[in-house]
Structure 1
Amino acid sequence: MGIIQSIKMALKSIKSNKLRAVLTMLGIIIGVSSVIVLVSIAQGSTKNVTSQINQLGTNLLTINSTGSDITLTEDKINKLSKLNGVNAVSPVVSGRVTVKKEKTSSQVSLTGTNAAYESVRGAKVNQGRFITDLDVEYRQKVVVLGSDTASTFFGTDNPVGQYIQIEGTSFKIIGVLASKGSSLGQSGDDVVIVPLSTGERVVGTTTISQVYLQGKSQDHMDFVMTEVEMEMASLYPNKSDSYSVTNQQDLMNTMSSVSNTMTMMLGGIASISLLVGGIGIMNIMLVSVSERTKEIGIRKAIGAKRRDVLLQFLIEAVVLSSMGGVIGIFAGLGIGKIVSTFMNMSISYSTSVMLLSFLFSLVVGVVFGVFPANKASKLNPIQALRYE
């Protein structure tokens, strides 16, 4: 008996027991859809975190002063900017300040920095311009607003050219940043950016506790980091505990490792459902063998070989699992869409995951279908015909 005829007989058998077939496939459907949904959520979260890290800036190194016994002065920062692999350097002073306009008042994060901050941190100006080196040199009272800050004080109006008070001092608004959203739990839009020299005066300190460095090439960031660490060790001998140098790529790698582990764990948990579905297929096929013992005896009596009977029941198991796999894929896509819409979660579908989950469902059908099919093929035709 040919494969096509065996498939037709398998479909006919499934069609004659629709409810039982649906219940048998349910385990496979749940398993495949679970794998797709959970892995897609994990991959979506990975992409979301990666995007947030990228918003911090490209090719980024950060120097943080963690002790009071070192001072990041302008001349020492200039030495860092002259290193071979460093493209730009942006020192930062920061603090929380009170911003007022007429009757509206709010506590906002203030960043005092230089013109290089725009490229180092990937800041984009939506209206007006960013601060310049001349603004820093002449201690200009100018400010660039984050998009949320601009909305809070000016609504939909263009604030460029207008004035706002920071800690009681009037500042001219020269620009508004494009929205960056939140990054690693911190909003990048509820901020005011002023020239470094002006910012030092507003927050009442000349201590620079943080410096951002942009590397020339993403491929050589490890080399640049080594350069910076050696220079810092030269500038501040025996004080390595008082500062830290962090590489954005290291953060990316750590997050990727955690996300990949999470994806594998979720995929493994969901795959258990497929195994449970396979056990369901085996149970139903064993019941089917018992119910169709007489049919098997008749087929063997009229010349069907053991291979034909084995193939028929094995194909039935594979058809059930493959149909369940296909339905599971569509169910997974639908559930993923619902989750992303109503729970505001980032979903990232993967064709390879869908294909692997479908192939796994086929393998489950074969593995768990072999035992019932083998049992059916070994039935003695005389005993089978006498079976009631």
Structure 2
Amino acid sequence: MKFSDILRTALHALRGNWMRSALTSLGVIIGIAAVIVMVSVGQGTQAEIDKLVSGLGSQRLDISPGAGRGGGGVRMSSGSFYTLKEGDVEAIRNEIPEVQYVAGALRGNTQIVFAENNASTSWQGVQADFFEINSWVIANGEGFDAQDYSSADKVVILGETVRRTLFGEDSGVGQTVRLGRVPFTVVGTLAPKGQGGFGQDQDDVMMVPLETARRRLMGSMGLPPGAVQQVALTVADAKDLSYVQGEVEALLRQRHKIAPGEEDDFNVRNISEIVATRTATTKLMSLLLGAVATISLIVGGIGIMNIMLVSVTERIREIGLRMAVGAGPGDVRRQFLAEAMLLSLGGGVLGIVIGVAGALLVGQFSELPVALNGQVIGLAAGFSIATGLFFGYYPARKASQLDPIEALRSQ
């Protein structure tokens, strides 16, 4: 028999009981759709993590205060005990040559007011390298100069969200605003960054020199001299990050006079290690989701095998008649195999359509990131064909091995 004859015969047989054919394909449809949706969500999540990595910087260390000791040996939380100093920042800069940029920072929240406009926002008191470490770019005006940092000048740089709230379309550079009760001059604005990896508005911020923050914005809090709440640094070569982390920890233990065996009064966070852990977790979840969807596809294939076996049993007399008029075992095997593959391929096409539509709907109406991948869609189509071939072979082989005489006698 020609291939066109086999295909036409298979289509005629499936159309004769179209409801059963449609229900048989349902397992493959659900399996293919599930594979596409779940893998798309997994890859979208991975892409979001990669975006987060680029935003945080894979060559960066963040140092924060650890738990210190108060009077009488009582433990105090990291939030209420300032263990890092500007001297630590200078020591890191001078004694660890692999460090490219390093800066200390203070932070807080306040009300900023201009004319009748006001906003409640966060501020950060920073040193010069802070802008390079966090990839902040000046959009209008200029950055702080050396005198601003040394003399605690009352100058401020606004993030895009704050600038837009206070000044609308105007840059605001040169205007005087009030932070709490203290007047500040706007010397520049920051280029927008948009939403961060955790959904926060990165532009809802303003920068002041570190000493200005200490004297003008935190003066009543009784900070220890030179205290900072955070130290951030970057290295020029990512390969040096682990080495630099060890050097920083050793240097700070020495400066803080921490004896061997005692707990550090600071925490060093290696962002690349955190990101690597999150990436591995996301990949594992993607594999798990893909495995669940693949199981659905296998169940659909078993359904095809089951129905094809039933079809062979129902059509024994037809098979015997075909063999009696000259059809060989190979012709019978190809016919039933074609029916199984048509069931699987039809389910695969519908599954791809539903899967793509489902992935787009998930991305539209939920917060889950979705990334459609043509390779995944092609793999799903190939998998549907392979499912029909694999699960249809046994029923086709069983049909081809029937004895024509016994088959004709069957009622």
Instruction: Give the TM-score of the pair, scaled to structure 2.
Output: 0.86
Maintained 8 Å contact 1:136/1:198: yes
* 2:45 aligned partner: 45
* 2:73 aligned partner: none
Structure 1 residue 8 displacement after superposition: 4.4
Question: Gaps spanning 5+ residues in structure 1: where?
Answer: none
Question: Gaps spanning 5+ residues in structure 2: where?
Answer: 70-81
Structure 1 residue 44 displacement after superposition: 0.8
State which drifts further: 316-325 or 126-135: 126-135
* 1:188 aligned partner: 202
Q: For 1:233, which of 253, 260, 283 is the aligned residue?
A: 253
* 1:374 aligned partner: 397
Secondary structure in structure 2 of the residue aligned to 1:55 = helix
Give the alignment of 1:301-316 within 5 angstroms: 301-316=324-339
Give the alignment of 1:139-158 within 5 angstroms: 139-158=152-171
Instruction: Give the residue type in structure 1 aligned to 2:22.
Output: V
Secondary structure in structure 2 of the residue aligned to 1:331 = helix
State which drifts further: 342-351 or 254-263: 342-351
Question: Percent identity among equivalent residues?
Answer: 35
Structure 1 residue 111 displacement after superposition: 0.5
Give the Cα–Cα distance (whole angstroms) in 1 for the partners of residues 407 and 369 of structure 2: 56
Give the Cα–Cα distance (whole angstroms) in 1 for the partners of residues 272 and 355 of structure 2: 33
Maintained 8 Å contact 1:159/1:173: yes
Maintained 8 Å contact 1:146/1:179: no
Give the alignment of 1:1-388 within 5 angstroms: 1=1, 5-68=5-68, 71-82=83-94, 83-177=96-190, 178-201=192-215, 202-204=217-219, 205=223, 206-236=226-256, 237-238=258-259, 240-388=263-411
Write the deviation string for residues 270-320 of structure 1: whole angstroms up to 9, x where unpaired: 222212211221232123223322221012223333333223212321232
Maintained 8 Å contact 1:114/1:133: no
Find runs of 4+ consecutive structure 1 residues off by over 6 angstroms: none
Give the Cα–Cα distance (whole angstroms) in 1 for the partners of residues 365 and 273 of structure 2: 34
Give the Cα–Cα distance (whole angstroms) in 1 for the partners of residues 33 and 352 of structure 2: 6
Instruction: Give the residue type in structure 1 aligned to 2:253.
Output: A
Maintained 8 Å contact 2:58/2:272: no
Secondary structure in structure 2 of the residue aligned to 1:164 = strand
Maintained 8 Å contact 1:58/1:120: no
Structure 1 residue 38 displacement after superposition: 1.2
**Count of residue pairs brought into register by the alignment:** 388
State which drifts further: 29-38 or 275-284: 275-284
Superposed CA RMSD: 2.3
Give the Cα–Cα distance (whole angstroms) in 2 for the partners of residues 104 and 158 of structure 1: 15
Structure 1 residue 352 displacement after superposition: 3.5
Structure 1 residue 335 displacement after superposition: 2.0
Maintained 8 Å contact 2:28/2:384: yes
Secondary structure in structure 2 of the residue aligned to 1:241 = coil
Give the Cα–Cα distance (whole angstroms) in 1 for the partners of residues 250 and 87 of structure 2: 17
Instruction: Give the residue type in structure 1 aligned to 2:237.
Output: S
Structure 1 residue 58 displacement after superposition: 4.9
Give the Cα–Cα distance (whole angstroms) in 2 for the partners of residues 307 and 110 of structure 1: 79
Maintained 8 Å contact 2:60/2:234: yes
Give the Cα–Cα distance (whole angstroms) in 2 for the partners of residues 199 and 341 of structure 1: 42
Change in Cα spacing, 1:113 to 1:58, as seen in structure 2 (3 Å) is farther
Give the Cα–Cα distance (whole angstroms) in 2 for the partners of residues 134 and 71 of structure 1: 27
Instruction: Give the residue type in structure 1 aligned to 2:386.
Output: V
Write the deviation string for residues 117-145 of structure 1: whole angstroms up to 9, x where unpaired: 11101123332233333321121211111
Give the Cα–Cα distance (whole angstroms) in 2 for the partners of residues 309 and 104 of structure 1: 82
Structure 1 residue 265 displacement after superposition: 1.5
Instruction: Give the residue type in structure 2 aligned to 1:183.
Output: G
Change in Cα spacing, 1:68 to 1:172, as seen in structure 2 (3 Å) is farther
Maintained 8 Å contact 1:310/1:374: yes
Maintained 8 Å contact 1:118/1:130: no
* 2:74 aligned partner: none
Maintained 8 Å contact 1:114/1:131: no
Change in Cα spacing, 1:249 to 1:4, as seen in structure 2 (3 Å) is farther
Structure 1 residue 45 displacement after superposition: 1.6
Instruction: Give the residue type in structure 2 aligned to 1:226.
Output: G
Secondary structure in structure 1 of the residue aligned to 2:13 = helix
Maintained 8 Å contact 2:66/2:83: no
Instruction: Give the residue type in structure 1 aligned to 2:84.
Output: L
Secondary structure in structure 2 of the residue aligned to 1:187 = coil
Structure 1 residue 96 displacement after superposition: 1.7
Instruction: Give the residue type in structure 2 aligned to 1:250.
Output: E
Structure 1 residue 193 displacement after superposition: 0.8
Secondary structure in structure 1 of the residue aligned to 2:84 = coil
